[in-house]
Chains A and B, each alone.
Chain A
């Protein structure tokens, strides 16, 4: 069965509000959809509560704004997600760097 969209996620307000066009979510690039989906999936699996992630996202946006960064909404989302996973002990920064390198060099090419 398809998951039913959660109001808590879909109705986030303020700077955390999901980018939309004509009411529909907008993913300008495919990776934005993937990171959104991974975050929602892990909250469904109770790896973290949505409000925990939302607080991280808001903090990340505030930090980026203060630093005058021009990063996009989903870049900030990615940062917030990585930090949250690292703090939960679910992601090792070194492992991510290595794996990213594997994809950059073409050593790995898993398809998602």
Chain B
């Protein structure tokens, strides 16, 4: 995926594609007619790329990994701790994964989800299948997501509601001792904060 977000496409080393030229022509015409402004387009792309993704939640997780006092506050009172970082508006309980306990979040009734932290819920989260099976056979569901936990690990299911949302604090992967807080945040995925994935070590990370 690297290179996908290179500035605005005009610094390509390869010759610019026909489609790219056509879209630039289109933008140039629409700007000329004052139907759009390039600044508005920039802001929209930025907002959709970032606000919809799991960036805010990832920042919370990374802070908890590097700051033990913050981690403690986060686990004691999630709502207050996320407000410290400027993310509010939701009653939140944070549940911590440990070598012996793995947490999985579901909303059996509908699709309650901590939007402010991890963006919009994926389609599968809202599916009847996930909502029912996560409770009934979490180990099988986790296996289907590619997570195979030893039998000795206890799996705890957290059922979100309109009043209280849950966020999983994943385990910090090994080999990340020298990473900065921002680099750590880049490793944290939405799925890890729902509990259907582990945070991969940096070498295996997709980005």
Contacts and interface: CB of A to CB of B under 8 A. Distances in A.
Interface of A: 2-5, 7, 9-11, 13, 17, 20-31, 33-38, 40-42, 44-45, 47, 75, 78, 81-82, 90-91, 95-96, 99-100, 102-104, 108-112
Given A75-B19, A78-B22, A112-B24, A23 B54 contact: yes
Q: Which 9 A-B pairs have the closest CB atoms?
A: A30-B9, A37-B41, A24-B53, A99-B25, A31-B23, A100-B25, A23-B190, A31-B20, A37-B45
B41 A41 contact: yes
Which range contains the number of B residues in contact with the other chain? Answer: 35 or more
Given A23-B53, A24-B53, A10 B40 contact: no
Contact of A108 (B19, B26, B28, B47): B28
Given A23-B122, A103-B24, A112-B27, A31 B9 contact: yes
A27 B52 CA distance: 14
A86 B1 CA distance: 34
Nearest to A105: B21
Contacts of B38: 112
Given A22-B191, A30-B9, A36 B4 contact: no
Contacts of B134: none
Nearest to B39: A41
B8 interface: yes
Contacts of A104: 18, 21
9 contacts: A2-B43, A23-B120, A28-B4, A31-B9, A34-B41, A38-B30, A40-B44, A75-B19, A111-B10
Contacts of A34: 8-9, 23-24, 27, 41, 45
Nearest to B27: A112
With most chain A CB atoms within 10 A of its CB, the pick from B22, B120, B189 is: B22
Contact of A78 (B23, B37, B123, B206): B23
Given A7-B120, A23-B53, 12 more contacts: A2-B43, A5-B48, A11-B120, A13-B123, A23-B190, A29-B17, A38-B36, A42-B35, A47-B35, A78-B26, A103-B25, A111-B8
B23 A24 contact: no
Contacts of B27: 34, 38, 110, 112
A4 B47 contact: yes
A22 B25 contact: no
B134 to A, nearest CB: 17
Contacts of B30: 38, 42, 90-91
